[in-house]
Structure 1
């Protein structure tokens, strides 16, 4: 029975290689890959991620080879990303505390969410959160996605998060304890040195945010606590950390290796890598 992978993409733009890299690793093993987005809209790659002449400002060089640019365009132009699952349709929304009948609505929410998320988790062996700037907008603080992450973690199923997709892991918290899932864990993610000073852009909106709205490194350092750690690995070409059930990838060149590490987690029981 082939492994089944749920891949979540932002509707505001994903970084091409951060999708292609893991998916190539999954395809090579014959895994079945299903895509999901927050509202069921089709996801698209950020234009700089399929432009081999685009120079990444913090690194001072292109991060996309011509071969990878071709693969990203082929993926983006294909029908493979058409008709993704909609988290909005699958998972109910938690009611505001100001709801007129909050207790009954909250009970109904939990019944619906437990069933929906339970069915989703039962259908897949692993979850992947693809990075890029888009996740800042519609994945990082997406409560429906948080419920999915919490459920995969509770079911002891692995989660791969890349780049700014790692923010989802820091923010997905049980509302009773409010403690980070990453407390005591070792992770990597976009370090401060790799953040743009200007030019953080998104698909579908004519808006240059300037720098990212939050430095992910600082959030991850706080979320992992005194017994965990953030590993930026600045100056090293690859940064992929596995601390089960989480596999985290820093940025673009880590995409393929992170997919391979998730394969090792699923097939060989890997629990620790990179620290």
Structure 2
């Protein structure tokens, strides 16, 4: 039976290699890949991620080879990304607590959400959240995506999150306990040393945020809490952590190995790697 992968992309730009790495691993394994965005708009690669001459400020070097830039352009311009699923169409929106008929609205929301999440989770073998600066805008605090993540965790199916996409895992919580699903877990993600001091931008928006609005490392350290740990692995060329059901990747060069490790999780039962 062919495995099916659900890949979530921001509508404000994804980092090219962070999509290409996993997708090429899935293609090589014979998996089917389906793409999903918050409202069904076609995703696009962030311009710096297709430019081999772009120098990443904190690393002081190019992070995109000419070959990878070519592969990113081929996928970004291909029809594969033309008609992504819409998360807003598939899952309901949680009502405000100030709604006039809140209790009935919440009961209806829970019924619809449980059914919709179950349908998606049943249809796919794993969830992938691609990184880049875009996820800061429309993925990190997306309640619909949080519910989808909780659904995959609830049935013990793996989730790969890359770079700023790992923030989704920190914020995905059962509202009864408010505890992050990565509490007590080992994860990696964008460390403080990799953060820009200026130039954080988003696809389709003429706006330079300056530095990122939050240091992801601090959020992940707090979310993992006692018993867990954030692994920055600063000074190491790659950083990918497997603490099942989570596979987390630090940044751009970790994209290819993270996809390959998720295949190992699915095919060989890998449950721990990198710590």
Structure 1 and Structure 2 fold alike (TM over 0.5): yes
Corresponding residue for 1:255? 255
The whole-number CA distance in structure 2 between the counterparts of 1:51 and 1:9 is: 20
Corresponding residue for 2:38? 38
Q: Is 1:53 the counterpart of 2:53 in the alignment? A: yes
Aligned-pair CA distance for 1:204 = 1.5
Superposition TM-score, scaled by structure 1 size: 1.00
Q: What CA deviation, in whole Å up to 9, does each residue of 1:137-189 have, x standing for no partner?
A: 00000000000000000010000000000000000001110001011100000
Corresponding residue for 2:131? 131
Aligned-pair CA distance for 1:2 = 1.2
Corresponding residue for 1:168? 168
The whole-number CA distance in structure 2 between the counterparts of 1:17 and 1:111 is: 38
The whole-number CA distance in structure 2 between the counterparts of 1:128 and 1:203 is: 20
Aligned 1:42-81 pairs, distance under 5 A: 42-81=42-81
The whole-number CA distance in structure 2 between the counterparts of 1:204 and 1:238 is: 30
Corresponding residue for 1:94? 94
The whole-number CA distance in structure 1 between the counterparts of 2:189 and 2:162 is: 7
Aligned-pair CA distance for 1:112 = 0.6
The whole-number CA distance in structure 2 between the counterparts of 1:20 and 1:135 is: 17
The whole-number CA distance in structure 1 between the counterparts of 2:2 and 2:265 is: 15
Q: Which ranges of 4 or more aligned residues in structure 1 deviate by more than 2 Å?
A: none
Q: Is 1:215 the counterpart of 2:228 in the alignment? A: no
Superposition TM-score, scaled by structure 2 size: 1.00
Corresponding residue for 1:230? 230
Alignment size in residue pairs: 275
What SS does the corresponding residue of 2:36 show, helix, strand or coil?
A: strand
What SS does the corresponding residue of 1:80 show, helix, strand or coil?
A: helix
Corresponding residue for 2:177? 177
Q: Is 1:26 the counterpart of 2:26 in the alignment? A: yes
- In structure 1, the gaps of 5 or more residues are none
Q: What CA deviation, in whole Å up to 9, does each residue of 1:236-264 have, x standing for no partner?
A: 00100000000000000000000011001
Aligned-pair CA distance for 1:63 = 0.2
The whole-number CA distance in structure 2 between the counterparts of 1:103 and 1:192 is: 42
Q: What CA deviation, in whole Å up to 9, does each residue of 1:215-273 have, x standing for no partner?
A: 00000000001100000000100100000000000000000000011001000000000
